[in-house]
């Protein structure tokens, strides 16, 4: 599962501060800020980042413009650019809650939990009534306390964290499954993550307490792979399935950034699972109907729980159809375009030689 970005959900009041600032700015800056706002609203994050970069060059003391730049870079997965811009925004305006929320989220997703906690604690006095922020901070504090006592098992490309010696066998098996997935999936898609990926193993209760994932989820990727390991030794195939699924999310995040439609992200992950395509075909064969792909761009956590499995199956078969029609290289190039800020429909048409609306119609 690839979760919704909690921090972004909080700051989707978004660029209102930018517009307000632009109204008091010279005409040239105002025009660029409006251009940036429009690009962001249309999910043209690359254009938005370019416009905000121009704007901060003209008005380097405007915290709202730096926030807009940071948010646009965040959505493109350009984490270093995002962190630098958000840090600058907070230096200029220490009480800017939106910038602190997003910076904390970025730090947390990078595995820097202590930094994320410190960033949120610094803004609490100015957002004491924000229940979502307070709940997120408490969640991270729990995560920090839990992480402080973890053991580590390492592979060539993964670092697996687990609670104690009793889980050592599960951790070693997890490393084996992940390294196998790194080779198999990486070869199938002709791309491999370049950074060491951190994996955290939880009991089922710990997993839901710390991640706040939906009840139906057994794993998430939020910058780290987080997996519930209930019955892992007696059901190793389920552990392998979840680990492979979340590894693909890590790969997609590196290649495509944060603006990849959920159906494409989840479908690609499930298609690479052992038996994923067969499960999806069986699920759809028994279903009364299924949603259109253009209804599955957002998080599946918003769906009725009874519809989630069908959404996964529909996404899986759609992605497999793309792979069969155009090949993995075309799909990976599409993801790279998204990371560069190309609009999804335009990238889809260019890289897959097929209009997105026509492809959606093919799945009905």
First to last CA, the chain: 24
- CA Rg, the chain, in Å? 21
Identify how many contiguous H helices and E strands the chain contains and give both numbers.
18, 5
Q: State the pLDDT confidence band at 281, using cuts at 50, 70 and 90.
A: very high
How confident is the model over 196-202, as a mean pLDDT? 94
- Taking only the tens place, the pLDDT of each residue in 138-188 is 989 998 998 888 999 999 999 999 988 888 989 999 999 999 999 999 999
- What pLDDT, on the 0 to 100 scale, is given for residue 74? 92
- What pLDDT, on the 0 to 100 scale, is given for residue 3? 63
- What pLDDT, on the 0 to 100 scale, is given for residue 290? 79
Q: Do domains 6-147 and 151-255 have the same CATH topology?
A: no
- Taking only the tens place, the pLDDT of each residue in 104-136 is 999 998 889 999 999 999 999 998 788 888 989
CATH of 6-147, one of 3.90.79.10, 1.25.40.10, 3.40.50.2300, 3.40.50.300: 1.25.40.10
Q: Which of the 8 DSSP states describes residue 196? A: P
Read off the tokens for 49.
């980042």
pTM: 0.86
The answer to whether 48 and 72 have CB atoms below 8 angstroms apart is yes
Please tell us whether the domain made up of 151-255 is placed in CATH 3.40.30.160.
yes
- What pLDDT, on the 0 to 100 scale, is given for residue 11? 42
The answer to whether 353 and 335 have CB atoms below 8 angstroms apart is no
- What pLDDT, on the 0 to 100 scale, is given for residue 8? 45
Q: State the pLDDT confidence band at 4, using cuts at 50, 70 and 90.
A: low
| Spatial separation of the C-alpha atoms in residues 66 and 235, rounded to whole Å | 49
Q: What are the distances in angstroms from CA 109 to CA 30, 200, 332? A: 33, 13, 23
Q: E strands of 107-162, at which residues?
A: 151-154, 158-162
The answer to whether 52 and 26 have CB atoms below 8 angstroms apart is no
Q: Where are the domains of the chain?
A: 6-147, 151-255, 262-362
């Amino acid at each position: 599962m690839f979760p919704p970005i909690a921090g972004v959900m909080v700051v989707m009041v978004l660029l209102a501060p930018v517009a307000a600032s632009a109204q008091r700015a010279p005409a040239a800056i105002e025009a660029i800020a409006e251009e940036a706002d429009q690009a962001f609203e249309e999910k043209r994050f690359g254009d938005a980042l370019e416009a905000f970069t121009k704007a901060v060059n003209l008005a380097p003391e405007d915290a709202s413009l730096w926030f807009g730049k940071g948010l646009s870079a965040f959505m493109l997965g350009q984490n270093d650019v995002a962190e630098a811009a958000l840090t600058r925004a907070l230096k200029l305006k220490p009480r800017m809650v939106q910038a602190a929320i997003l910076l904390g989220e970025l730090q947390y997703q990078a595995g820097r939990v202590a930094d994320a906690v410190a960033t949120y604690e610094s803004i609490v006095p100015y957002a004491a009534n924000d229940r979502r922020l307070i709940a997120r901070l408490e969640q991270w504090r729990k995560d920090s306390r839990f992480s402080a006592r973890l053991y580590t098992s390492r592979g060539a490309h993964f670092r697996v964290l687990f609670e104690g010696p009793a889980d050592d066998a599960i951790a070693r098996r997890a490393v084996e499954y992940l390294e196998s997935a790194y080779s198999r999936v990486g070869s199938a898609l002709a791309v491999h993550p370049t950074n060491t990926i951190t994996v955290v193993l939880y009991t089922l209760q710990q997993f839901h307490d710390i991640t706040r994932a939906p009840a139906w989820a057994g794993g998430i990727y939020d910058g780290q792979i987080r997996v519930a390991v209930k019955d892992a030794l007696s059901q190793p195939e389920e552990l392998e399935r979840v680990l492979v699924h979340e590894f693909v999310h890590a790969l997609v995040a590196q290649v495509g950034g944060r603006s990849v439609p959920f159906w494409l992200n989840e479908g690609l992950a499930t298609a690479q699972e052992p038996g994923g395509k067969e499960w999806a075909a069986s699920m759809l064969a028994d279903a009364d109907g299924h949603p259109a792909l253009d209804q599955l761009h957002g998080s599946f956590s918003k769906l009725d729980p009874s519809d989630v499995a069908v959404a996964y199956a529909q996404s899986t078969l759609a992605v497999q159809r793309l792979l069969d029609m155009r090949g993995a290289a075309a799909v990976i190039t599409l993801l790279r375009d998204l990371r560069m800020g190309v609009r999804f429909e335009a990238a889809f048409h260019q890289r897959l030689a097929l209009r997105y609306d026509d492809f959606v119609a093919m799945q009905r």
